[in-house]
């Protein structure tokens, strides 16, 4: 799905996606690495909810031309790791 979305975006169509799927994100990362889509055409935004002490926050990691992401905020696509820790009995 991520590669498909990247193909669509590479034609000039603006694509806006809200996802919790690491498969979608990684498909886009691979498409960027493979030259299907320029990294400058990708914008990532991670929204933190408001807490008792903080207002909502937005972090915007940047994707490089090889599909790497410059920073991984806490909670950013970490569900797989969390699930594996539970299954391993670490949590």
Delimit the domains of the chain by residue range: 2-88
Instruction: Render pLDDT for 28-65 as a digit per residue (tens, 0 to 9).
Output: 999 999 999 999 999 999 998 888 888 878 999 999 99
Q: What is the mean pLDDT of residues 56-79?
A: 90
Q: Does the pTM exceed 0.85?
A: no
Residue pointed to by tokens 């590479």: 10
Please give the pLDDT value at position 70: 96
């Amino acid at each position: 799905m991520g590669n498909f979305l990247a193909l669509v975006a590479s034609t000039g169509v603006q694509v806006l996606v809200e996802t919790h799927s690491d498969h979608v994100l990684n498909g886009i990362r691979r498409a960027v690495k493979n030259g299907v889509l320029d990294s400058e055409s990708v914008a990532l935004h991670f929204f933190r909810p408001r807490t008792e002490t903080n207002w909502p926050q937005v972090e915007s990691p940047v994707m490089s031309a090889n599909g790497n992401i410059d920073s991984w905020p806490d909670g950013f696509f970490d569900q797989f790791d969390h699930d594996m820790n539970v299954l391993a009995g670490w949590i």
